[in-house]
Amino acid sequence: MGTKTIGIIGCGAIGETLAAYIEKELKPYVSGIVFFDVVRVCAEKLAKNTANSKIFSNIDDVVASSDLIIESAVGSCVPDLLRKVIDSEKDIMIMSIGGLLTVKDLLVEAEKKGVKVILPSGAIAGLDAIKASKVAGIKKVTLTTRKAPGSISGAPYLIENDIDVEKITEETVIFEGNVTEAVKGFPKNINVSALLSLAGIGPDKTKVKIIVSPEYTRNIHEIEVESEAGKITTRAENVPFPKNPKTSYLAALAAITALEGYFKNVRIGT
């Protein structure tokens, strides 16, 4: 594998973290980085601190100029971006995995065209075991997420249902439903559920419960899986990412690991 040009779309906390890691650890593999953000000053900030970098004013130029595109923006941009990447036969890493739920057919097309679609494991544990269980047959998957009020405030579901999480004084279940409903109601907060559903039995069958309490200091994700291979229970207690408390630190680290794995030949786990 020769050196690659990486395009980063979305220059917030995750984009900044990946750019810094590329600059520090992946220089032998990367010939340059190109940036795009709807808020141009964010892209300018990253480019200023990155060697061999450029800023583009539209996504088409990023795709055309890159070998690997990293999406770290919002789920709503994923369908069109993935379509462009497939047509250009480039590779892509997607952080806003909830954006894939309406275009799963594109993942099939990407596979046929040999386009690599990388979906980091994010803030949850046990994906390898869940994928292995799927081979035997999964019966049930449940995700229970616990969050502090500030990490989930402003979500569409809360606004639509007139729920003021800042007034919650004790452990309170604010949502129960499936992944399709959860991603729609909490598009910036529950991407882990979308990833879990893709690894397992799909968004309509994967159950989600969201619990809020002012006593929580970490984002906690508990997963229960029942399959023909047995039962799996995992629990991840995630420290909030210092640069963006609505994201778990582990999610940023998982993105780094996934990016590193793209360039390395030795693979641990699936």
Q: Which residues are catalytic?
A: 221
d(CA 264, CA 115): 17
CA atoms within 13 A on the CB side of 70: 27
Phi-psi category of 107—alpha, beta or left, where left has phi over 0 and alpha has psi -120 to 50? alpha
Instruction: State the Cα–Cα distance between residues 28 and 31, nearest whole angstrom.
Output: 8
Cα separation of 141 and 6, whole Å?
35
Q: CA separation (Å) from 205 to 184, 201, 208, 258, 264?
A: 15, 6, 10, 27, 35
Residues 6+ apart with CB under 8 A from 216: 146, 147, 148
Half-sphere exposure of 83 (CA within 13 A, CB side): 8
- Rg of the chain over CA atoms, in angstroms? 19
